[in-house]
A and B are shown apart, each in its own frame.
Chain A
Amino acid sequence: MLEITDLRVAYGGVEALHGISLKVEEGELVTILGANGAGKTTTLMAVSGLVRPRTGEIRFNGERLDSLPSHEVVARGVTQAPEGRRVFGPMTVEENLRLGAFTRKGPVPPRLLRRVFELFPRLEERRGQMAGTLSGGEQQMLAIGRALMAEPKLLLLDEPSLGLAPLLVRSIFETVKNINRSGVTVVLVEQNARAALKLAGRGYVLDVGRLVLEDLSVNLLNNPQVKDAYLGG
């Protein structure tokens, strides 16, 4: 479904990704692990069309994404809940969700809102509240819910656990699993490697802009190198 080949991205003169390749099949839940600055966010931003690759290809169901403007990428069914959530603070929860469905023509069908509210009942309670006044966990729910409003085929999640209490992380990861089961392919970028590997079928490990490992999650969980570097020994 998603195929990235030899992707190189540079910010100014500094190359952040030195040619990575990865593949995600339809229906999979794949995680990308790595420390700060490994290039995880850059990879997702390149898929979403917010940064332009220097070389390499990004294909989605065979079609090149790397030369499309970002709104065309969304229109093809690839959405993202970005790092730091980036909800629209001075807008209400409902306005944020409606923005998620921006690429749809015509009015937003109520069933889309209903689906998000079923996944995150808290958002329904707070639908008229300004997004900036939500707690971190609620903002994360909103960011994910917003990304679902476009009915994506591929959902990109960038560090959904960042700054959240462990209990909340578990609940959000549970929801991510349910979203994946409902037929949405998911790429999950995480620093919380153990939790991400328990959720995902396969994983890739990035280190300073290079792909260093790819394997099934079970194998990565038992890989001594991964244990050492990412699972805290």
Chain B
Amino acid sequence: MDFFIQQFCNGLTTGGIYALIALGYTMVYGVMKLINFAHGELFTLGAFLGYLLLVTLGLAGAVGPALGLALSIVTVSGLVAAAGHLLERVAYRPLRNSDRLAAVVSALGASIFLQNAIMIVWGSQYRAYSARLLPAVSLDVLGQPIPLIRILVFAAAAALMLLLWLFINRTRTGLAIRAAAIDQGAARLMGIDVSRVIAVVFVIGPALGGLAGLMAGLLYGQINFNMGQLYGLKAFTAAIIGGIGNIQGAMIGGLLLGLLESLGAAYVSVAWKDAITFVVLIMILVVRPTGLLPERVAEKL
């Protein structure tokens, strides 16, 4: 039982990170029907910007861990959001009215470009977040000691998801995003500026993805220029599990995938950890390709 609680908490934390990345895929897909293949690289960028602030510049040491983290969160989300906005302007907006395939190729190109740019700046070797950034204490959860960082990461992921949920369901812009995801043409007939909606989505998604990168760096301690590939693929799987285009689905899919992976690694085999993800992806695509929460209810004509 103790082992289970440990693994369950691990799964929730990893799942929170997957969910944050998955939200970026699903929001962009919802509005543009495009998979933003460069999204995993925005996650990597977040991890490296966090590294720059916390390790290279020693922010946490200079102002204390709490303030250092807070400043990193604000800076990383802001800078990655700006990068996402730029990405949309350069790689996607010029292709808005062209063939879907052209946008996909552009997305793949942007992904390769970003990955290599990060490699040129930070090099190809692993970089380590130092272990002493945060006090190495554990908190008691159901009788089990859980490291503070895991709890913080999960709490931050949960808080961000709650904020996003409120934004999507309680604000005017959120309503516009939902409408544009359901029927872009009808949304335009309502007077919604869909270009603006897309710009907003390309700010929120990357901000969340960048923060997930920072969290992954803090949680696992080491980062690498191509870490976004595997994380991206897993988060994409999470988005598919939840039903791509569906925001709640991405949250649930991310947490579910994190749990599956963690419990699978614990009770089946660590060697199968990544394989489990892709078995799940294939099974979902075969059995229920619309995901657990399909975006579209059948509409009567």
Task: Give the residue name and chain of the B residue nearest to A73 (CB).
Answer: B191
Q: Is the CB of A74 within 8 A of B189?
A: yes
Q: Is the CB of B299 within 8 A of A71?
A: no
Contacts of B185 in A (CB 8 A): 50, 82, 86
- Select one of A71, A87, A89, A136 contacting B188, CB under 8 A: A71
- Given A91-B182, A99-B175, A135 contacting B300 (CB threshold 8 A): yes
Q: How far is the CA of A70 from the CA of B187 in the complex (A)?
A: 10
- Select one of B175, B188, B191 contacting A98, CB under 8 A: B175
Task: Give the residue name and chain of the A residue nearest to B246 (CB).
Answer: A90
Q: How far is the CA of A96 from the CA of B172 in the complex (A)?
A: 13
Chain A positions 136-154 with a Cβ under 8 Å from a chain B Cβ: 136, 139, 146-147, 150
Q: Is the CB of A132 within 8 A of B183?
A: no
Q: How far is the CA of A86 from the CA of B186 in the complex (A)?
A: 6
Check if A75 is an interface residue, CB within 8 A of chain B: yes
Distance between A72 CB and nearest chain B CB, rounded to angstroms: 8
- Given A69-B193, A90-B296, A95 contacting B175 (CB threshold 8 A): yes
Q: Is the CB of B188 within 8 A of A82?
A: no
Check if B178 is an interface residue, CB within 8 A of chain A: yes
Q: How far is the CA of A87 from the CA of B296 in the complex (A)?
A: 12
Q: How far is the CA of A98 from the CA of B192 in the complex (A)?
A: 12
Q: Is the CB of B189 within 8 A of A50?
A: yes
Q: Is the CB of A102 within 8 A of B191?
A: yes
Q: Is the CB of B299 within 8 A of A146?
A: no
Q: Is the CB of B182 within 8 A of A89?
A: yes
Task: Give the residue name and chain of the B residue nearest to A131 (CB).
Answer: B299
Task: Give the residue name and chain of the A residue nearest to B182 (CB).
Answer: A88
Could you mark each residue 187-199 of chain B with 1 if its beta carbon is under 8 Å from any beta carbon of chain A, else 0?
1111111010000
Check if A36 is an interface residue, CB within 8 A of chain B: no
- Select one of B186, B195, B298, B300 contacting A134, CB under 8 A: B300
Distance between A198 CB and nearest chain B CB, rounded to angstroms: 26
Distance between B251 CB and nearest chain A CB, rounded to angstroms: 17
- Given A132-B300, A134-B300, A74 contacting B186 (CB threshold 8 A): no
Q: Is the CB of B297 within 8 A of A88?
A: no
Distance between A97 CB and nearest chain B CB, rounded to angstroms: 10
- Given A95-B175, A99-B175, A89 contacting B190 (CB threshold 8 A): no
Q: How far is the CA of A49 from the CA of B185 in the complex (A)?
A: 10
Q: How far is the CA of A82 from the CA of B189 in the complex (A)?
A: 8
Most chain B beta-carbon contacts within 10 A, residue among A86, A88, A100: A88
Check if B176 is an interface residue, CB within 8 A of chain A: yes
Contacts of A91 in B (CB 8 A): 178-179, 182
Contacts of A75 in B (CB 8 A): 191
Q: Is the CB of A74 within 8 A of B191?
A: yes
Check if A79 is an interface residue, CB within 8 A of chain B: yes
Contacts of A69 in B (CB 8 A): 193, 195
3 nearest CB pairs, A to B:
A74-B191, A103-B191, A86-B186
Task: Identify 22 residue pairs between A and B in the complex whose beta-carbon atoms are under 8 Å apart, listed by A's number.
Answer: A50-B185, A69-B195, A71-B188, A71-B191, A74-B190, A86-B185, A86-B186, A88-B178, A89-B299, A90-B182, A95-B175, A102-B172, A102-B175, A102-B176, A103-B190, A132-B297, A132-B298, A133-B297, A134-B300, A136-B301, A147-B189, A163-B301
Residues of A within 8 A of B (CB): 48-50, 69-71, 74-75, 79-80, 82, 84, 86-91, 95, 98-100, 102-103, 130, 132-136, 139, 146-147, 150, 163
Additional A-B contact list (16), CB under 8 Å, known A50-B189, A89-B296, A90-B295: A48-B188, A71-B191, A71-B192, A74-B190, A79-B191, A82-B186, A86-B189, A87-B186, A88-B182, A88-B183, A88-B186, A89-B297, A90-B182, A98-B175, A132-B298, A150-B191
